[in-house]
Structure 1
Amino acid sequence: MSNFSFTGINLAISTPFNDDGKVDYARLEKLIERYLAAGVRGFVLSSGTGMHVYLSQEESKELVAFGAKVINGRANIIAQTSALLVEDVVERTRHAADCGAGAVMVLPPFFEGPADDDGVFEFYASVARAGLPIIGYNVPQAVGVEITPSLLRRLCEIPEFLAVKDSSGDLSKQAALVRTGLPVMNGADPLVPYAMYAGVSGLIWGGANFAPKTCVELVAAAQERRWDDAREIWRVLEPAMSLIWQGDYVQSVYAASAMTGYGAGNPRRPLSRLSAAKSDVLRSAIGELVERERLAH
Structure 2
Amino acid sequence: MNTAEKKFVPVMITPFNLKAKVDYEVLPALIDFYLAAGVKGFFANCLSSEMYSISEDERLELTAFVVKYINKRLPVVATGSFGFTIEDKAEFTKKIYDTGIDAAIMITGHFAKVDGSDEILLQNFDKMFGLTGNIPLGTYECPAPYKRILTADVFRQLLMSDRLVYHKDTSILLDSVKAKIEIAKDSHLEFYDAHTPNSMYSLQMGAKGMSSISGNFYPEIMVWMCDNALNPEKQADVAWLQSELSAVDPIIHQAYPMSAKYFLQKRGLPVRTISRTYALELTPQQKQTLDEIHARFLGWCERLGITPTAGKQ
Residue deviations 1:145-171, cap 9 Å, x none? 320000000111112123431113222
- Report the more deviating stretch, 258-267 or 147-156: 258-267
Shift of 1:207: 1.5
In the TM superposition, residue 237 of structure 1 has moved relative to its aligned partner by: 3.7
Kindly report structure 1 stretches of 4+ aligned residues shifted beyond 6 Å. Answer: none
Shift of 1:257: 2.3
Q: Are 1:126 and 2:127 an aligned pair?
A: yes
Q: 193, 212, 225: which one pairs with 2:219?
A: 212
Structure-2 residue corresponding to 1:151:
154
Moved more, 107-116 or 210-219: 107-116
Structure 1 residue 233: deviation in Å?
Answer: 3.8
Q: Does 1:79 align with 2:78?
A: yes
| Cα distance in 2, alignment partners of residues 284 and 66 from structure 1 | 34
**1:234 and 1:113, CA in 2 relative to 1: closer, same or farther beyond 3 A?**
closer
Check 1:283–1:57 CA distance in 2 against 1; reply closer, same or farther (3 A cut): same
Q: Select the residue among 241, 251, 264 that pairs with 2:258.
A: 251
- Please list, as runs of the form range in 1=range in 2, the aligned pairs for 1:204-243 lying within 5 A after superposition: 204-225=211-232, 226-234=234-242, 236-243=244-251
Distance 1:141 1:148 in 2: 18
Q: State the distance in 2 between where 1:56 and 1:44 align.
A: 18
Question: For residue 90 of structure 2, what is the aligned residue in structure 1?
Answer: 90
Deviation per residue, 1:266-286 (Å, 9 max, x gap): 242341243222222232233
Supply the AA of the counterpart residue of 1:230.
V
Percent identity, aligned pairs only? 23
- Shift of the 32–217 alpha-carbon distance from structure 1 to 2, 3 Å rule, reads same
**TM-score between both structures, scaled by the size of structure 2:** 0.83
The reply on whether 1:280 has 2:288 as its aligned counterpart is yes
Residue 105 of structure 1: CA displacement? Answer: 1.7
Question: Matched residue of 1:296: which SS?
Answer: coil
CA RMSD of aligned residues (A): 2.7
- For residues 7 and 165 of structure 1, what CA distance do their matches in structure 2 show? 14
Distance of 1:65 and 1:223 partners within structure 2: 35
Structure 1 residue identity aligned to 2:120: G
**Residue 173 (structure 1) aligned with residue 186 (structure 2):** no
Alpha-carbon distance change, 125 to 211 in structure 1, aligned in 2, over 3 angstroms: same
Consecutive unaligned residues of structure 1, counting only runs of 5 or more, are none
